[in-house]
Amino acid sequence: MKRLSAIAAGAVILSLIYLQAQTRMAFPIVAQDGGHVALGLALRKLTVSGTFMQAPAHPDDETNAMLAYFGYGMGLRSIDLQNNRGDGGQNEIGPELFGDMGVLRTSELLSAHRLDGAEQYFTRAIDYGYSFDPQEVITKWGRKDIVGDYVRLIRTLRPDVIVTMNIQGRGGDRAHEATTVLVREGFRAAGDPAMYPEQLQEGLRPWQPKKLYFSGGFGGGPGGPGAPAGGCGGRGGRGTTAGQTTPPPAPPPPAQPAAPPAKVTPVNTASYDPLLGRTYSEIGSDARSYHKCLAPLAGGAGGRGGRGGGGYQLMESSIAGQVGKDETSLFDGIDTSLTAVAQYAGPNPPQALVAGLAAVMAEGRKAQSAFAAGNDAGTAPPVEAGLTAIRALRAQLPSLGLSDSARYEIDFRLNLKERDYQDAVLAAHGLSFDAVADDGLVIAGQPIRVSLVAINRSASDVPVTGVTVAGFDSPAACKPDVAKKDVAYTCAVEAHVPKDAKVTTPYFHDNYWKHPENQAINIFDPGVPFGVPFAPTPFRATFHVKAGTVDVTRELPVQFRYVKDVYAGDKRMELNVVPAFSVRVTPPLAVIPSAAAAKPAEREIQSFHRRPRPSRPNARSMSR
């Protein structure tokens, strides 16, 4: 029997799950992405320097409330470094399993971080299934490889404080404990130049984080005593059984003298942020709600206000005498002021460096004071002055007589701070930017139109000195112009997707799921920043503007508004390059008993063809 039916253009796929992940249902977050609130959050970053990293095992093990607390509340860089992508977890919203499941859960993490503000990275480990033996997990991942991944990412991102999970004792998925062991080994090795020297040959430099914490102390595990709000309640029985072992018998342990209570450092995520109008627990709870495939197990803290945070045990520190102290903050003993960057020059830093940092910090404080007084427009002059000062200080570093190591550490942090000041300048001038294409599923060689917009909400005109578009062949040029108050600067660029454009796929692959006897580790494509969620899109737009007295740039990915429905809101996706012709079989998976007699089976085969034109491709199903 034959059946013909029209198939929507959006059904043209290489991999349904990957395209679903790329779209990410990206709703704008009004409270944090623009206006007064965005300006306030940007200003909090100007006078501080420091990085917080959480290193959990699986997606949903992160503490979203704590990531928001350090990122939004303290203005620090906030990073979620996941051991794996949750490939072996359960899925209550769709058919995806294994590698496809990892793509789905990566996408859910990115959606959660749009609320908690954290950056996302991964090691190459694969969540191959439930295990009762942490050593089995470590062996299956490859100890040297995954410790090396932690070392690489620590050396790249240079965190000051790392929080990981804990040693759970009996019960629970022991991948949590394996992760804790490997993070601790990575913490110790990252600062040793003798460890993983090949990374140093690639240009990385040793880095010793200042503190390593375990969550909740010993014995509780995630969700146990002292566990943080919004933390995972343990993996329970969810997930696949690939690699599962039989739990060893658990005889009653012999009586032991009671150990003295561990010192636990609290993090109060129930504190209210008047700028955001919420507690960090509330933000974390909403962020956790994006872990949809795990259904109720991923739910955040219940009730208005959420829970009040948790406690963390300091296990190791490069700060002499810090372990064992009573602490009130995970950053006790660490100076996070911008002026403290001078410490990397040694006990007697050059006076020009000290004065330069003080000048930058003074401008940041002026901007914060203007904002606190309700004068948003008054923040622009000091943030412009601060950006000018930080650029001048970076240019001066080669002449200050610093060692190569000191110069690297200082410029690494000043580079991050320059980006923060650029963000603050754009927020102070009420500038926003957009780059939208007229198609989101594109094929090599097709023409495309990109609409570029810059909007100025400040009281004065802002010159747009240039706009460039990358990733396309022969893009037309945009003319410089002025973005007047409340009037959009617009430019439409006609271009072509390159004829040799590669089909969009995940940059991580594996030889495990079809061959479970192999090592459970992903293979990363070369040329992609190590450990990022997905490869950065090549289709990008860069705006150059003169905001007050300073030149500032803003780069952003070209997107497609893939649902134009007044009831569904503005949802977007980055551009995906798909094949001109593809085939899908339904159902994609069938289980056939080996002893079953042969009999006819019905399958539907759909073929999809995209013509090389900017939108509305033809797609038809074929016979089954």
134 lies in the same domain as 273: yes
CATH number at residue 472: 2.60.40.10
92 lies in the same domain as 198: yes
Q: Examine the pLDDT at 565 and tell me if it is beyond 70.
A: no
CATH number at residue 323: 3.40.50.10320
Q: Examine the pLDDT at 561 and tell me if it is beyond 60.
A: yes
Choose among 327, 351, 464: nearest CA to 401.
351
Domain count, the chain: 3
pLDDT digits (tens, 9 = 90+) for 495-550: 999 999 999 999 999 999 999 999 999 999 999 999 999 999 999 999 999 999 99
Rounded to two decimals, what is the model's pTM?
A: 0.86
445 lies in the same domain as 467: yes
pLDDT digits (tens, 9 = 90+) for 4-13: 333 333 333 3
Instruction: Compute the distance between CA of residue 607 and CA of residue 373 in angstroms, rounded to an integer.
Output: 62
Judge whether 553 lies within some domain: yes
Half-sphere exposure of 2 (CA within 13 A, CB side): 5
Secondary structure class of 267 (helix, strand, coil): strand
Secondary structure class of 554 (helix, strand, coil): strand
416 lies in the same domain as 443: no
Judge whether 31 lies within some domain: no
Judge whether 611 lies within some domain: no
Q: Which residues constitute the domain of residue 462?
A: 434-507+534-578
359 lies in the same domain as 467: no
The reply to whether omega before 587 is within 30° of 0 (cis) is yes
Radius of gyration from C-alpha coordinates of the chain? 26
pLDDT digits (tens, 9 = 90+) for 354-405: 999 999 999 999 999 999 999 999 999 999 999 999 999 999 999 999 999 9
CB-based burial of residue 86 (10 Å sphere; 0-12 exposed, 13-18 middle, 19+ buried)? buried
**Phi-psi bin for 576: left (phi > 0), alpha (psi -120 to 50), beta?**
beta
Residue after which a domain boundary falls, among 311, 336, 361: 336
Judge whether 603 lies within some domain: no
Which DSSP state fits 154? H
User: What are the Cα distances from residue 489, in Å, to 191, 467, 484?
Assistant: 48, 11, 8
Instruction: Compute the distance between CA of residue 594 and CA of residue 587 in angstroms, rounded to an integer.
Output: 19
Judge whether 584 lies within some domain: no
**Distance from CA of residue 402 to its chain's centroid?**
33
Helix (H) or strand (E) holding 180: helix 175-189
366 lies in the same domain as 471: no
Judge whether 278 lies within some domain: yes
Choose among 273, 296, 245, 327: nearest CA to 90.
296
Average pLDDT over residues 590-597: 79
Beta bridge partners, 211, equal: 161, 317
Query: Residue written as tokens 């990915």?
Result: 557
474 lies in the same domain as 358: no
496 lies in the same domain as 544: yes
Judge whether 503 lies within some domain: yes
Judge whether 166 lies within some domain: yes
What percentage of the chain reaches a pLDDT higher than 90? 70
357 lies in the same domain as 462: no
Residue after which a domain boundary falls, among 301, 336, 371: 336
Tokens, residue 22: 């790329």
122 lies in the same domain as 181: yes
278 lies in the same domain as 414: no
Secondary structure class of 491 (helix, strand, coil): strand
Which DSSP state fits 69? I
